[in-house]
């Protein structure tokens, strides 16, 4: 099977929201394809389970009740155009100010 060369649609520091579920977040890492556990994968209801052959994003996420880390497929993300900052407590550790819907990374942090 040929290797699919895909580039990520979203970028680190970009504020996004989930297409189905009521949460939003800022991207802090990107995997070119699914890179989580099979247990995590199997926990997603089959009727909404995304494909593995697409970028997956690590988010500092929040909903009305809490802040957490989310792992979301590209197909389930939309640009968040609210202009509102993300309240997740780790945002200040990784990013500087919010400008035009994007956070600027602090320094050069290697993974």
Domain range list for the chain: 15-105
CB 9 within 8 A of CB 30: no
Q: Is 24 exposed, middle or buried (0-12, 13-18, 19+ CB in 10 A)?
A: buried
Question: How do residues 57-79 score in pLDDT, each as one tens digit?
Answer: 999 999 999 999 999 999 999 99
pLDDT at 108: 59
CB 25 within 8 A of CB 89: no
Task: Dig out the tokens for 1 from the structure.
Answer: 């099977």
In the structure, how many helices (H) and strands (E) does the chain have? Answer: 2, 7
The segments of the chain whose pLDDT lies below 70 read 1-6, 108-111
pLDDT at 2: 46
Reported pTM = 0.88
């Amino acid at each position: 099977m040929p290797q699919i060369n895909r580039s990520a649609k979203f970028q680190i520091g970009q504020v996004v929201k989930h297409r189905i579920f009521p949460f939003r977040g800022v991207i802090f890492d990107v995997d070119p394809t699914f890179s989580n556990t099979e247990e995590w994968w199997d926990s997603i209801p089959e009727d909404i389970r995304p494909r593995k052959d697409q970028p997956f994003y690590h988010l500092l996420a929040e909903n009305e009740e809490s802040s957490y880390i989310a792992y979301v497929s590209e197909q389930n993300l939309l640009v968040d155009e609210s202009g509102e900052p993300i309240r997740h407590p780790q945002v200040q550790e990784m990013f500087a100010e919010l400008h035009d819907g994007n956070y600027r990374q602090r320094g050069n942090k290697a993974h």
